[in-house]
Chains A and B, each alone.
Chain A
Protein backbone atom coordinates (compact mmCIF):
# COMPACT_ATOMS: atom_id res chain seq x y z
CA UNK A 1 0.00 0.00 0.00
CA UNK A 2 0.96 3.65 0.14
CA UNK A 3 3.72 4.40 2.52
CA UNK A 4 6.43 6.86 3.14
CA UNK A 5 8.63 5.48 5.82
CA UNK A 6 11.44 6.72 7.97
CA UNK A 7 14.53 4.75 8.85
CA UNK A 8 14.98 6.25 12.32
CA UNK A 9 12.06 7.09 14.56
CA UNK A 10 14.27 9.13 16.93
CA UNK A 11 17.46 11.09 16.51
CA UNK A 12 19.45 12.80 19.23
CA UNK A 13 22.26 15.21 18.37
CA UNK A 14 24.44 17.75 20.11
CA UNK A 15 23.91 21.43 19.50
CA UNK A 16 26.10 22.58 16.65
CA UNK A 17 26.32 19.17 15.01
CA UNK A 18 24.80 18.42 11.64
CA UNK A 19 21.65 16.29 11.54
CA UNK A 20 20.54 13.90 8.85
CA UNK A 21 16.98 12.62 8.76
CA UNK A 22 16.19 9.87 6.29
CA UNK A 23 13.05 8.82 4.51
CA UNK A 24 12.21 5.93 2.20
CA UNK A 25 9.27 6.24 -0.14
CA UNK A 26 7.49 3.48 -1.94
CA UNK A 27 5.82 5.10 -4.93
CA UNK A 28 8.34 5.40 -7.73
CA UNK A 29 5.84 7.56 -9.63
CA UNK A 30 5.91 10.30 -6.98
CA UNK A 31 7.27 13.48 -8.47
CA UNK A 32 7.20 15.99 -5.64
CA UNK A 33 8.50 15.73 -2.09
CA UNK A 34 8.23 17.97 0.94
CA UNK A 35 9.80 18.08 4.38
CA UNK A 36 7.78 19.40 7.31
CA UNK A 37 8.68 20.21 10.89
CA UNK A 38 6.08 19.79 13.60
CA UNK A 39 6.59 21.21 17.05
CA UNK A 40 4.48 20.14 19.98
CA UNK A 41 0.99 21.60 19.84
CA UNK A 42 1.44 23.04 16.37
CA UNK A 43 0.71 22.06 12.82
CA UNK A 44 3.38 20.93 10.36
CA UNK A 45 5.57 23.76 9.14
CA UNK A 46 6.90 23.69 5.59
CA UNK A 47 10.70 23.45 5.46
CA UNK A 48 11.76 22.64 1.94
CA UNK A 49 10.53 20.84 -1.14
CA UNK A 50 12.08 19.18 -4.15
CA UNK A 51 10.81 18.01 -7.51
CA UNK A 52 11.73 14.66 -8.95
CA UNK A 53 13.78 16.24 -11.73
CA UNK A 54 16.27 17.44 -9.11
CA UNK A 55 18.56 15.52 -6.80
CA UNK A 56 19.51 18.29 -4.41
CA UNK A 57 18.06 21.52 -3.14
CA UNK A 58 19.39 23.87 -0.52
CA UNK A 59 17.70 26.30 1.79
CA UNK A 60 18.80 28.19 4.83
CA UNK A 61 20.75 25.62 6.92
CA UNK A 62 18.82 22.79 5.29
CA UNK A 63 19.53 20.59 2.30
CA UNK A 64 17.27 17.97 0.80
CA UNK A 65 18.73 15.12 -1.22
CA UNK A 66 16.68 12.87 -3.47
CA UNK A 67 17.89 9.52 -4.75
CA UNK A 68 15.24 8.16 -7.09
CA UNK A 69 17.22 5.02 -7.84
CA UNK A 70 16.73 3.74 -4.31
CA UNK A 71 13.64 5.85 -3.53
CA UNK A 72 15.35 7.68 -0.71
CA UNK A 73 15.00 11.20 0.58
CA UNK A 74 17.06 12.91 3.25
CA UNK A 75 17.00 16.19 5.12
CA UNK A 76 20.27 17.63 6.33
CA UNK A 77 20.26 20.34 8.96
CA UNK A 78 23.51 22.21 9.45
CA UNK A 79 24.63 23.46 12.84
CA UNK A 80 21.59 22.05 14.60
CA UNK A 81 20.09 24.30 17.25
CA UNK A 82 17.80 23.57 20.21
CA UNK A 83 14.99 25.24 18.27
CA UNK A 84 15.29 22.51 15.66
CA UNK A 85 13.96 19.96 18.14
CA UNK A 86 10.70 18.69 16.68
CA UNK A 87 9.19 15.83 14.71
CA UNK A 88 10.13 15.86 11.05
CA UNK A 89 7.93 14.38 8.35
CA UNK A 90 8.64 13.69 4.75
CA UNK A 91 5.73 13.66 2.35
CA UNK A 92 5.31 12.69 -1.27
CA UNK A 93 2.85 13.62 -3.92
CA UNK A 94 2.14 11.16 -6.68
CA UNK A 95 1.21 11.74 -10.26
CA UNK A 96 -2.26 11.42 -11.74
CA UNK A 97 -3.91 14.60 -10.55
CA UNK A 98 -4.33 13.63 -6.92
CA UNK A 99 -3.25 16.47 -4.71
CA UNK A 100 -2.99 14.43 -1.56
CA UNK A 101 0.26 14.17 0.32
CA UNK A 102 1.35 10.80 1.69
CA UNK A 103 3.20 11.23 4.97
CA UNK A 104 5.54 9.05 6.93
CA UNK A 105 5.16 8.58 10.67
CA UNK A 106 7.91 11.07 11.45
CA UNK A 107 11.32 11.26 13.11
CA UNK A 108 11.69 12.96 16.45
CA UNK A 109 14.81 15.11 16.55
CA UNK A 110 16.18 16.08 19.95
CA UNK A 111 18.98 18.61 20.15
CA UNK A 112 21.01 18.48 23.33
CA UNK A 113 22.64 21.70 24.53
Chain B
Protein backbone atom coordinates (compact mmCIF):
# COMPACT_ATOMS: atom_id res chain seq x y z
CA UNK B 1 0.00 0.00 0.00
CA UNK B 2 1.41 3.36 -1.00
CA UNK B 3 1.85 5.86 1.77
CA UNK B 4 1.18 9.57 1.75
CA UNK B 5 3.12 11.20 -1.07
CA UNK B 6 4.11 14.83 -1.25
CA UNK B 7 5.60 16.94 -4.01
CA UNK B 8 7.89 18.60 -4.59
CA UNK B 9 10.50 17.35 -2.15
CA UNK B 10 12.20 20.73 -2.07
CA UNK B 11 11.02 24.15 -3.13
CA UNK B 12 13.02 27.35 -3.20
CA UNK B 13 11.24 30.68 -3.44
CA UNK B 14 11.93 34.32 -2.77
CA UNK B 15 10.06 36.69 -0.52
CA UNK B 16 6.71 37.77 -1.90
CA UNK B 17 6.29 34.80 -4.21
CA UNK B 18 3.64 32.14 -3.97
CA UNK B 19 4.19 28.44 -3.30
CA UNK B 20 2.00 25.43 -4.04
CA UNK B 21 2.59 22.13 -2.28
CA UNK B 22 0.80 18.91 -3.17
CA UNK B 23 -0.27 15.84 -1.26
CA UNK B 24 -1.80 12.49 -2.17
CA UNK B 25 -3.33 10.61 0.75
CA UNK B 26 -3.28 6.91 1.43
CA UNK B 27 -5.91 5.14 -0.66
CA UNK B 28 -9.23 5.15 1.17
CA UNK B 29 -8.38 8.05 3.46
CA UNK B 30 -10.71 11.00 3.12
CA UNK B 31 -9.12 13.38 5.62
CA UNK B 32 -5.97 15.35 4.83
CA UNK B 33 -4.04 17.46 7.31
CA UNK B 34 -1.26 19.97 6.84
CA UNK B 35 1.38 20.77 9.45
CA UNK B 36 4.33 23.11 9.54
CA UNK B 37 7.58 21.99 11.15
CA UNK B 38 9.90 24.93 11.51
CA UNK B 39 13.48 24.50 12.68
CA UNK B 40 13.60 24.07 16.43
CA UNK B 41 9.85 23.93 16.77
CA UNK B 42 7.40 21.10 16.94
CA UNK B 43 4.76 20.37 14.38
CA UNK B 44 2.14 23.08 14.16
CA UNK B 45 -1.30 22.28 12.80
CA UNK B 46 -2.23 24.26 9.71
CA UNK B 47 -5.34 22.87 8.03
CA UNK B 48 -7.69 19.92 7.96
CA UNK B 49 -9.72 18.92 4.90
CA UNK B 50 -12.32 16.24 4.66
CA UNK B 51 -14.67 15.40 1.82
CA UNK B 52 -13.51 18.45 -0.09
CA UNK B 53 -14.17 20.97 2.64
CA UNK B 54 -11.97 22.84 5.08
CA UNK B 55 -12.95 21.58 8.52
CA UNK B 56 -10.49 23.34 10.78
CA UNK B 57 -7.49 25.63 10.58
CA UNK B 58 -4.70 26.45 12.95
CA UNK B 59 -3.38 29.79 14.06
CA UNK B 60 -1.91 30.86 10.73
CA UNK B 61 -2.64 33.94 8.61
CA UNK B 62 -5.08 33.76 5.68
CA UNK B 63 -2.24 33.70 3.16
CA UNK B 64 -2.00 30.02 4.08
CA UNK B 65 -4.81 28.28 2.24
CA UNK B 66 -5.55 25.10 0.43
CA UNK B 67 -8.09 22.83 -1.06
CA UNK B 68 -9.01 19.20 -1.41
CA UNK B 69 -9.93 17.66 -4.73
CA UNK B 70 -12.60 15.03 -5.47
CA UNK B 71 -9.92 12.32 -5.43
CA UNK B 72 -9.01 13.49 -1.89
CA UNK B 73 -5.61 14.82 -2.88
CA UNK B 74 -4.83 18.27 -1.55
CA UNK B 75 -2.89 21.43 -2.24
CA UNK B 76 -1.44 23.89 0.22
CA UNK B 77 -0.93 27.41 -1.09
CA UNK B 78 1.17 30.01 0.64
CA UNK B 79 0.94 33.54 -0.72
CA UNK B 80 3.21 36.52 -0.16
CA UNK B 81 6.00 34.32 1.18
CA UNK B 82 7.99 35.55 4.13
CA UNK B 83 11.37 34.41 5.39
CA UNK B 84 9.79 32.78 8.43
CA UNK B 85 7.74 30.53 6.19
CA UNK B 86 10.87 28.47 5.64
CA UNK B 87 10.02 25.10 7.09
CA UNK B 88 9.17 21.49 6.40
CA UNK B 89 5.52 21.18 5.43
CA UNK B 90 4.04 17.84 6.27
CA UNK B 91 0.86 16.31 4.99
CA UNK B 92 -0.97 13.54 6.80
CA UNK B 93 -4.05 11.51 6.03
CA UNK B 94 -6.47 9.33 7.93
CA UNK B 95 -9.85 7.72 7.76
CA UNK B 96 -12.59 10.01 8.98
CA UNK B 97 -13.25 9.50 12.61
CA UNK B 98 -11.87 10.85 15.81
CA UNK B 99 -9.89 7.91 17.02
CA UNK B 100 -7.73 7.33 13.99
CA UNK B 101 -3.99 7.84 13.69
CA UNK B 102 -2.75 10.26 11.10
CA UNK B 103 -0.12 8.92 8.72
CA UNK B 104 2.46 11.34 7.39
CA UNK B 105 4.33 11.88 4.17
CA UNK B 106 7.99 12.89 4.10
CA UNK B 107 7.19 16.55 3.56
CA UNK B 108 8.14 19.41 1.30
CA UNK B 109 11.10 21.49 2.39
CA UNK B 110 10.26 25.11 1.57
CA UNK B 111 13.14 27.55 1.62
CA UNK B 112 12.59 31.28 1.27
CA UNK B 113 15.55 33.33 0.10
Contacts and interface: CB of A to CB of B under 8 A. Distances in A.
Interface string A39-75: 0011111100101000000000000000000000000
B111 to A, nearest CB: 15
Interface string A72-113: 000000000000000001010100011111111110000000
Nearest to B90: A43
A42 B106 contact: yes
Tell me the dominant secondary structure on chain B's binding face. Answer: strand
A45 B24 CA distance: 17
Q: Is the interface on chain B under 10, 10 to 19, 20 to 34, or 35 or more residues?
A: 20 to 34
Interface residues of A, number: 26
B107 interface: yes
Interface string B79-103: 0000000000010101000110111
A106 B37 CA distance: 12
B101 A49 contact: yes
A36 B90 CA distance: 13
Contacts of A89: 42-43
Given A41-B106, A44-B43, A89-B43, A99 B101 contact: no
A98 B98 CA distance: 8
Contact of B104 (A43, A104, A106): A43
B107 to A, nearest CB: 5
B31 A46 contact: no
B105 to A, nearest CB: 5
A105 to B, nearest CB: 4
Contacts of A31: 98
A51 B101 CA distance: 11
Contact of B105 (A43, A51, A100): A43
A104 B42 CA distance: 6
B48 A99 contact: yes
A43 B48 CA distance: 17
